[in-house]
Amino acid sequence: MLTDKQDAIGHMFYDYLTKAPVDEIIERDDGLVEIDNGIGYFCEFQDWPSCEKRAMKYVRGRVLDVGAGAGRCALYLQDRGHEVVCIDNSPLALEVCRLRGLRNIKLVPFSKITPRLGVFDTVIMMGNNFGLFGSLEGAKELLQKLSRITSTRGRIVAETRDVYQTDVPEHLSYQERNRRRGRMSGQIRLRARYRTYATPWFDYLMVSREEMVDILDGTDWKITKFIDSDSPMYVAIIDKR
């Protein structure tokens, strides 16, 4: 779990909820810095990207929200009668979820999930949260863990970005740098910053459709459907074999 000084994203969420819109800083390990506001974490369903709206139709049964953040997806599903369990490694993000009305929150990092959480029919990883798998090896291990805590009709609804859909020189050179180092092109090393808070550095994995199929090979999971968008973002519906 994150310490208070490391909980940059949680502090940003809390300030957004209780004060005013704020800026999030994402720092990549090659020195690239990008700034975004926190609006997307709190937006209502009508303002979601179309691929995310369509993805919600594939959610069924008891739901595990991995990296729940400010809780926008969990709130939508809870309001529609789903039992939703939110997990995150950010104490303040989960406090924001509680303040917004989510009933079942657990301070559990994705890497530490166990059967003690119960059995789920759907695991959602929205907002680019397929990235939380971190690496090829991490994905293989965590997919096994997800298999153990999901029902026979278990499903993963995961959003990611096809990193190859870019012509930005800094991104293309970073992908080449990754390949030279034996890493996947979209295995990003980054940290989030907000005011005087900074998360530890961590790996975040973004993949093409073909790479996702390869990652699932040899696991209990298979692609059922891709939901495309008019951007590099897409959602995968992943079912048990």
pLDDT in tens, 92-111: 999 999 999 999 999 999 99
- Would you say residue 155 has pLDDT above 80? yes
Burial profile 92-115: b = 16 or more Cβ within 10 angstroms, e = fewer = bbbbbbeeeebebbebbebeebee
The predicted structure's pLDDT at residue 20: 73
Asked if 206 and 134 touch (Cβ cutoff 8 Å), the reply is no
Number of Cβ within a 10 Å radius of residue 14: 20
What pLDDT score does 169 carry?
Answer: 97
Residue 87, C-beta contacts closer than 8 angstroms, at least 6 positions apart: 64, 65, 66, 67, 68, 105, 106, 107, 108, 109, 110, 113, 117
pLDDT score for 197: 96
* Interior angle at CA 151, CA 150 and CA 152, nearest 5: 125
- Per-residue pLDDT at 64 exceeds 90: yes
Whole-number percent of the chain with pLDDT over 70: 100
The whole-chain average pLDDT of the chain stands at: 96
Q: pLDDT at residue 181 above 80?
A: yes
- What pLDDT sits at residue 133? 98
Q: Determine the pLDDT at residue 37.
A: 83
Mean pLDDT of the 15-37 span = 91
Of 231, 212, 235, 232, the closest CA to residue 222 belongs to: 212
Instruction: Please name every residue paired with 222 in a beta bridge, in sequence order, or none if there are none.
Output: 239
Amino acid, res. 207: V
Is 52 within 8 Å of 77 (Cβ atoms)?
A: no
CATH fold of 8-240, please?
Answer: Rossmann fold (3.40.50)
> Which residues face 198 on adjacent strands?
193
What pLDDT, on the 0 to 100 scale, is given for residue 143?
98
Rounded mean pLDDT, 116-137? 97
What pLDDT does residue 232 have? Answer: 97
Nearest to 221 by CA among 88, 130, 134, 116: 130
Q: What is the mean pLDDT of residues 114-118?
A: 97
pLDDT band at 19 (very low <50, low <70, confident <90, very high): confident
Q: What is the pLDDT of residue 21?
A: 75
Q: Is the per-residue pLDDT at 209 higher than 80?
A: yes
